[in-house]
Amino acid sequence: MRGVRERLWWAPGPQPGSTHRRNKQEELETCTCLQGYDLIGITETWWDGSYGWSVGMEGYRLFRKDRQGRQGGGVTLYVNDQLECMELHLGIDEELAERLWVRIKRSTGTGDIIAGVCYRPPDQGDRVDEVFYRQLGAPSCSQALILMGDFNHPNICWRDNKVGHKQSKRFLECVGDNFLLQVIEEPTRRGAMLDLILTNKEGLVGDVKLKGSLGCSDHEMVEFRILRAVRRVHSKLTILDFRRADFGLFRDLLGRIPWDKALEGRGAQESWLIFKGHLLQAQERCIPTKRESSKNTKRPP
């Protein structure tokens, strides 16, 4: 299984369909297509409720947690849809810390992999830090944990575990208390090691490489390999179940959209992307999916 932790920096207040944002999403999709990653984590997405139609990627399940109440922040995970996975909710002040967790099934039945992504703002206070440390206890007890993210602790020296700042010292204590290992060895932003990969099992993560930046981000992308087999869904396909579709609601949702205003001043390609996004949103709400065995799928003559 291959994974990558990419930090994307969206310009403040990007509008849906803007050239800046669309180009960066296209670059992400191109990179993903070429490399065939199974897991993609992103911090500081700057997404909110208006970013629904344009951030999905074909072949991936999207898990996201947007910052509430103010701009910036946010985290997301894209997981290859051939992997059996589900989001985990720890129930400990989940609305405070910017992080999310996903459980990925192992093929051997010897314990699942817990993958997490976290963004810690540089001005985050002690209270939210402590919330995150309490949350970290449960997944740290799993048989295989991988936590990636931008933790904004630039003054930690990971080679000898030395630190001077109070909050960074508390973070280092939490890492030690949960028996976690930090596997990135090179600076990820302007000589500082802000982006980390933490794991609770030696040998779980390998082949860690810095891959340059994506778009205008000033952080390095980090590519790594998860050295454990995971369960893939080869026998079934996910298809739309039109028999259970609510076409009345589907037409109503699309009819509520002020298309003249939404498409005003847009070119053909951008108009198509906007239309496609609203169409997919309506489809997700109104047309359920089902699993169909691949052996029952008709092959072309």
Q: How far is CA 249 from CA 256, 279, 289, in A?
A: 11, 12, 16
Residue 14 has pLDDT above 50, yes or no: no
2: left (phi over 0), alpha (psi -120 to 50) or beta: beta
**Strand 195-199 with 144-150, pairing:** antiparallel
Secondary structure of 6-27 as H, E, C letters: EECCCCCCCCCCCHHHHHHHHH
What pLDDT is stored for residue 12 in this prediction?
25
Cα 114-120-125 angle, rounded to 5 deg: 125
In angstroms and rounded to an integer, the radius of gyration of the C-alpha atoms of the chain is: 21
Residue 184 has pLDDT above 80, yes or no: yes
Say which amino acid occupies 212: G
Stretch (H or E) spanning 100? strand 98-104
216 neighbors 11 (Cβ within 8 angstroms): yes
Stretch (H or E) spanning 276? helix 268-286
Flag whether the pTM goes above 0.75: no
Q: 2-226 falls under which CATH superfamily? A: Endonuclease/exonuclease/phosphatase (3.60.10.10)
pLDDT, tens digit, 9 for 90 and up, residues 230-281: 666 554 567 788 888 899 999 999 999 999 988 888 888 778 878 888 888 8
The residues spanned by each domain of the chain are: 2-226, 237-294
85/110 Cα distance (integer angstroms): 15
282 neighbors 254 (Cβ within 8 angstroms): yes
Residue 146 has pLDDT above 90, yes or no: yes
Residue 54 has pLDDT above 80, yes or no: no
What pLDDT is stored for residue 130 in this prediction?
92
What pLDDT is stored for residue 19 in this prediction?
44
Residue bearing the bigger pLDDT, 248 or 90: 248
